């Protein structure tokens, strides 16, 4: 295995995970739990690969429909399902999940664990002779997984602190389907042969950054206000 390519492959995911960890300044999550979520997110690549391979057998379409099936069903729904599953099975019921920002943090760690292994597969093994793959995936693909996770975590937090069972179920569904749609659009743009699709790729990436940073900022400010209120009470 090429050590240089391996370092290139793991650096984006680890760097983004550290940046999120240090951004969560006011009520940090247990590091052991974050590492557990990251590792399980990485391991979720295994069942994802089996399900995706199975679903590809049903892709009897051609052209745009084939690209759409692969982007939205095979990749989007499947990958977001397993990344979300990691959070639901580990952090969602934890006492440490005690504010809305936490949902985003845990979802990001799960997604970045997944993205790191996926990046190793592409950069180190599948496209090891292409020097641009590591750069492209470090700029677009790995951060995209993080951005989908912000949306996932946003709705997971709404589900966690929902006032009714009906609301909880609604937001749990959104925590899967909304990031899956965002993921599917991202992949579809890259997979389709329609030239106009590539024209909207960069604007779409900008849209992902803007909308998800707003979600992150909303919960960050809430965390800050809660922390300062608790400090005054003490």
pLDDT value for 130: 84
The residue among 228 and 166 whose pLDDT is bigger is 166
Report yes or no: 176 and 84 within 8 Å, Cβ to Cβ. Answer: yes
Q: 1 pLDDT band (50/70/90 cuts)?
A: low
For 18-51, the pLDDT digits (tens) are 999 998 888 899 999 999 999 999 999 999 999 9
Tokens 């690549």, residue? 45
Residue boundaries of the structural domains of the chain: 3-226
The C-alpha atoms of residue 126 and residue 93 are separated, in whole angstroms, by 37
The C-alpha atoms of residue 142 and residue 149 are separated, in whole angstroms, by 11
For 164-190, the pLDDT digits (tens) are 999 999 999 999 999 999 999 999 999
pLDDT value for 120: 96
CB count in 10 Å sphere of residue 14 = 15
pLDDT value for 195: 75
């Amino acid at each position: 295995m090429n050590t240089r390519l391996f370092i290139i492959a793991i650096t984006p995911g680890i760097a983004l995970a550290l940046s999120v960890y240090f951004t969560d300044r006011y009520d940090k999550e247990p590091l052991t739990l974050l590492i557990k979520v990251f590792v399980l997110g990485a391991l979720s690549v295994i069942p994802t690969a089996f399900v995706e391979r199975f679903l590809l057998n049903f892709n009897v379409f051609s052209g745009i429909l084939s690209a759409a099936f692969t982007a939205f069903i095979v990749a989007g729904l499947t990958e977001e399902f397993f990344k979300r599953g990691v959070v639901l099975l580990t952090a969602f019921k934890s006492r440490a999940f005690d504010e809305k920002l936490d949902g985003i943090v845990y979802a990001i760690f799960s997604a970045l664990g997944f993205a790191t292994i996926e990046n190793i597969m592409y950069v180190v093994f599948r496209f090891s002779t292409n020097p641009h793959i590591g750069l492209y995936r470090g700029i677009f693909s790995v951060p995209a997984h993080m951005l989908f996770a912000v949306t996932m975590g946003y709705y997971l937090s709404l589900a966690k602190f929902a006032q009714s069972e009906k609301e909880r179920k609604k937001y749990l569904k959104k925590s899967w389907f909304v990031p899956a749609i965002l993921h599917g659009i991202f992949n579809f743009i890259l997979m389709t042969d329609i030239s106009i699709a590539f024209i909207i790729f960069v604007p779409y990436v900008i849209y992902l950054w803007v909308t998800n940073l707003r979600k992150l900022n909303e919960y960050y400010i809430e965390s800050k206000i809660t922390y300062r209120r608790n400090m005054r009470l003490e």
